[in-house]
Structure 1
Amino acid sequence: MAPGDVDMKPAADAGKGKDKDDEKAEDKKKSEEKENPTAPPLTPAQEIKANVALIERGVSTLEPRFMHRVLRNLASIRKKLTDSALREALEEIYVKDSVDKETLLSWLPEAPALAEGEGAMEIDAGPPTAPQRKSPPPSDPLPESEVYLRLLLVHHLLSSPETVPKALQLAHETVEKIQAWNRRSMDPLAARNWFALGRAYELSGELENVRALLLTAQKTASLRRDDECQAVLINLLLRNYLHYNLYDQADKLVAKTTFPTSAGNPQLARYHYYLGRIKAVQLNYSDAHTNLQQAIRRAPAAKAAPGFFQAVHKFFVVVELLMGDIPERSLFRHPVLVNALAGYFEIVRSVRTGNLAHFQETLRAYQAQFTSDKTRTLIVRLRQNVIKTGVRRLSLSYSRISLRDICVKLHLDSEEDAEYIIGKAIRDGVIDGRIVHEKGWLECAGAKSGYGPDVAEAYQRRIGFCLQLHNESVKAMRYPLNAHRKETAAAEEAREHEKELAMEIQDGDLDDDDGLDGF
């Protein structure tokens, strides 16, 4: 072999080396999978058991964050509840001969009987192994855990219309137990149980029967400074009053109670929503608009709570129209609001164009929806806005138009109605013109110029706001501490240096051009 040649391995040997590397990589991958196996998702029964452990840990350590962590997962676990999952959880949490376990199991339907031979197949399958028995808990869980399990049972029974009466009875028993125990660590769970009780009454159609009970509980929660229960109970009472159109009583409740500021965002969103409805009925549209905006901002995501998101936006659109503004078109393209706001979009179109005929037609077509949404009373008030918009468009199009033509174009009943509406529009400053009663027409002054005292006043307000913002920004500026001392020290050193140079020049020790490079 020549000295420059390279000894090449056979192809078979190279392939064997490659196979060995692949085998090593696979073995390493399998060992990693054995060391870090992917945990399977927990079953509903295991989740309930883990939540009960968290509740008891929070009670023993006096840490409310564990209780709140359990309640945050309540919405997700409610969707997974089944009879078998609840029965399995109760069997694992309680001891074998527990009276409370039998009481809770009685609210569930009986377990289906096993088929003949089913048990034998399970016993004979595979070689006999040592039985693995789960050690039962030494005692029953804490009262907080029992209340949590009862809450899950109530929500599970509320999911079916046939079991709503049983849910109502169980919710009443749970509330009585909570009042008998009177434990402060149970307050977050008590708030959720009050909400479940109100929901059970609403589904059973007996919402007026729970009002006295809620009022008594609200007084008790206020005296105990139980903010969570107080927030839930105030919202339940407001919902009760608004369901029966008792707006005066709802307004008195708001005036005589103080909603706790420490309540969570869901309760604050509900409270602002109810306040917005009350203010809208009372013709206080600006406050209603503010409250509804707060409800939208504090509400959960649209996909998490689509019903509440749609309900708030229905009132928000109507209130914005009553204020004289037109909602943005992008709002009606939202995936959650496209179908829910179809009728409201037609109302917005009729208000924007001033088409009274289209407004009346839309009101008749969507009357059932507006009535169920409790917005029909507010939408009827928009008739004047539609007429004002139509009158404004006519005043810009014609310099003179008869009242009879106005009645035809705006679909009004008589010339007297047209004269009254136009007179009110002139007085409110909607249009600039005058009515000639003898000849029966309206003389319009045309479009206003862009200048005048109103424009000057608006500019003055904007200039004042900008100046005030500038002054506040200057006052809010922050400077480094003692930064001016460094500049003062540098200036003093420069002056001392100048004095020394001047003295040396006078003494003749330094020429005029020496040492003056920096000056």
Structure 2
Amino acid sequence: MTQEKAVQAPKKVDTTLPEEDNETVDILDTFKEFISLIEKSAEDFDARYILKVFRELTTVRKEISSDTLVSLIEYVYPETGNSKTSSTKGYLFQTLSVDPSSEMDTRDDVEGNGEKVESKRSDPIAEVDIFIHLLVQIYLHDQKQYKKLHAFNMRCIDALKSYDRRTMDYIQAKVWYYIFRSCELVRDLIPIRAELMRALRTATLRHDTETRASTISLLLRDYLLTNDINQAYNLVEKTEFPQDASNSVVARYYFYLARIQAIQLDYSSANECVIAAIRKCPQTKSALGFLQTVTKLHILIQLLTGEVPDLTTFRDPHLESSLTPYLAVTRAVRLGDLKIFNAALEKYGGHLKRDENYNLVLRLRQNVIKTGIRIISLAYKRISLKDICIKLHLDSEISSEYIVAKAIKDGVIDASINHKAGYMQSKELLDVYSTRAPQSEFDRRIKFCMSLHDDSVKAMRYPMNMNRVEDKVDPEAREREQELIQYLQDADGF
């Protein structure tokens, strides 16, 4: 018998990368694709590529890590760059708590055979440089490193001042948002106003629509957070907001404008602005918090104008839990009961103060009384002032007489007061169609439809480059345009 030699099979070497490394490589490839799109946008003067980058950035921003940013910085900034590139690379590494000397020794582009590959990239263009700053801002903001972000933003302001290119309008508008956001989080709102004013002046001279719209909305938020309502109103009066900006910035501007007008008792204009903010709000999950805030203000403005919000607003599954205090306030105003209104204030006062709507809710006390008087005038043809005082939980008959007289003067009720006998006499109701109420309502609806039509026409997008003859001949440009059209069907990011 011949003995067969047992041949051992060679061991297989696992060449696959760990799952975390695979994810890092995938994200890094995504960011490299973003950089190529930004470079193509700067080359073709077509902002649609940058808008595509921002739409896709919202889905991957949670996966940004320091290792990914370090690899991306090594890819973008060459080792043989000029002094400005080297200094930029240095403070970016310093912000990410990375030693630049160690990274130069250990992080090299390596092929599959282990040989070093020299980077063939030149110094980054302005758009790519500012985009890297934006990614670092997003990372620090999501990691809640607010003090480090606030210190890094001073570098971002210097970087923005060093460039003068129209193709970076959308990127620098986003950078200014995070600059102000860090100031808001560290409660340092006053010094940033001067920089925002300079940015607004520069954007206006350059006809930079996106940056101008962003800086105006940020200045309004700054004034509202510091309760400088007069300064905010003066800014609105002396500046012209560009209506062709992105929907998210326009929605924020209308919200701030509605709050300013509501504080200044201009409820009709505030109602129009808050409706425009809701209509302009992006229909995405990331904009849900903004939609809740705007809806709360809309409910209060409706109550202050004498209208009762629709019940379906409070039954929205995305808004139901956050609108519970406002439902209680609405119920008290609708019933005209001061006792229920005071109970709602006592129970939900802290929630209303966090929303910065407590002072507006306090104004509703007069509306509660007016609603109660209107209900009483409809239910009783004649009622004594003493009974009105008891039903409305007022202090005395004198105060009830004064409130009834004020309601008659304001046109809330159609009645008369017999001062000697001490009672209120209601008059017969007139036919509503004999008044101007239907005409005014019809006019309001027509204005809304015309405004919606005008906004739809303004929202139509056209390519920025004027040389369309070459694009028709070039098949690659035609494919690129078709690819962008399908991305433009999606809603803009918030």
Normalised TM-score (structure 2): 0.77
| Cα separation, 2, equivalents of 1:175 and 1:257 | 23
| Cα separation, 1, equivalents of 2:284 and 2:384 | 50
**1:241-320 matches, cutoff 5 A:** 241-301=223-283, 303-320=285-302
Task: Name the counterpart of 1:63.
Answer: 46
* 2:24/2:68 contact within 8 Å kept: no
Task: Name the counterpart of 1:448.
Answer: 429
SS of the residue aligned with 1:401? Answer: strand
Task: Name the counterpart of 2:401.
Answer: 419
Q: What letter corresponds to residue 455 of structure 1 in structure 2?
A: Y
Q: Does 1:334 align with 2:316?
A: yes
Q: Does 1:152 align with 2:130?
A: no
CA shift, 1:97, in A, is 5.8
CA shift, 1:73, in A, is 2.7
Q: Does 1:106 align with 2:87?
A: no
CA shift, 1:42, in A, is 7.2
In our comparison, the structure showing a higher alpha carbon Rg is 1
| Cα separation, 2, equivalents of 1:253 and 1:86 | 38
Task: Name the counterpart of 1:226.
Answer: 208
SS of the residue aligned with 1:270? Answer: helix
CA shift, 1:355, in A, is 1.1
SS of the residue aligned with 1:411? Answer: coil
| Cα separation, 1, equivalents of 2:412 and 2:252 | 36
Task: Name the counterpart of 1:364.
Answer: 346
Task: Name the counterpart of 1:503.
Answer: none
Deviations 1:346-394 (A, max 9, x none): 1111111111110111112211222222222221121111111111222
Task: Name the counterpart of 1:54.
Answer: 37
Q: 1:54 to 1:423 in 2, by over 3 A?
A: same
Q: What letter corresponds to residue 429 of structure 2 in structure 1?
A: K
1:86 to 48, 63, 69: 69
SS of the residue aligned with 2:245? Answer: coil
Deviations 1:239-285 (A, max 9, x none): 00111121111111011001112211111111111111111122221
Deviates most, 222-231 or 77-86: 77-86
CA shift, 1:71, in A, is 2.7
Q: 1:296 to 1:461 in 2, by over 3 A?
A: closer
CA shift, 1:416, in A, is 1.1
Q: Does 1:321 align with 2:303?
A: yes
Percent sequence identity over aligned pairs: 37
Q: What letter corresponds to residue 403 of structure 1 in structure 2?
A: L
1:203 to 160, 172, 185: 185
Task: Name the counterpart of 1:19.
Answer: none
CA shift, 1:192, in A, is 1.3
1:430 to 388, 412, 425: 412
| Cα separation, 2, equivalents of 1:306 and 1:97 | 46
Q: What letter corresponds to residue 207 of structure 1 in structure 2?
A: L
SS of the residue aligned with 1:154? Answer: helix
| Cα separation, 2, equivalents of 1:223 and 1:270 | 23
| Cα separation, 2, equivalents of 1:181 and 1:430 | 60
* 1:303/1:336 contact within 8 Å kept: no
Which protein has greater RCO, CA pairs closer than 8 Å, 6+ apart?
2
CA shift, 1:427, in A, is 2.5
- Which structure 2 segments of 5+ residues have no match? 1-21, 100-111, 447-494
CA shift, 1:227, in A, is 1.2
SS of the residue aligned with 2:153? Answer: helix
| Cα separation, 2, equivalents of 1:375 and 1:362 | 14
| Cα separation, 2, equivalents of 1:186 and 1:147 | 8
Task: Name the counterpart of 2:475.
Answer: none
Q: 1:444 to 1:456 in 2, by over 3 A?
A: closer
Deviates most, 173-182 or 311-320: 173-182
* 2:416/2:424 contact within 8 Å kept: yes
Task: Name the counterpart of 1:177.
Answer: 159
Q: What letter corresponds to residue 252 of structure 1 in structure 2?
A: N
Q: What letter corresponds to residue 322 of structure 1 in structure 2?
A: L
CA shift, 1:329, in A, is 0.6
| Cα separation, 2, equivalents of 1:235 and 1:417 | 44
- Which structure 1 segments of 5+ residues have no match? 1-38, 112-128, 469-519
SS of the residue aligned with 1:366? Answer: helix
- Pairwise CA RMSD: 2.6
| Cα separation, 1, equivalents of 2:233 and 2:330 | 29
Task: Name the counterpart of 1:165.
Answer: 147
CA shift, 1:91, in A, is 2.8
Normalised TM-score (structure 1): 0.73
CA shift, 1:225, in A, is 1.4
Q: 1:433 to 1:102 in 2, by over 3 A?
A: closer
SS of the residue aligned with 1:207? Answer: coil
Deviations 1:19-77 (A, max 9, x none): xxxxxxxxxxxxxxxxxxxx999722211111111112222333332223223333333
Deviates most, 215-224 or 427-436: 427-436
Task: Name the counterpart of 1:512.
Answer: none
CA shift, 1:322, in A, is 1.2
SS of the residue aligned with 1:196? Answer: helix
Q: 1:315 to 1:388 in 2, by over 3 A?
A: same
SS of the residue aligned with 2:285? Answer: coil
Q: 1:458 to 1:103 in 2, by over 3 A?
A: closer
Q: What letter corresponds to residue 93 of structure 2 in structure 1?
A: L
Q: What letter corresponds to residue 103 of structure 1 in structure 2?
A: Y
CA shift, 1:187, in A, is 2.2
* 1:164/1:200 contact within 8 Å kept: yes
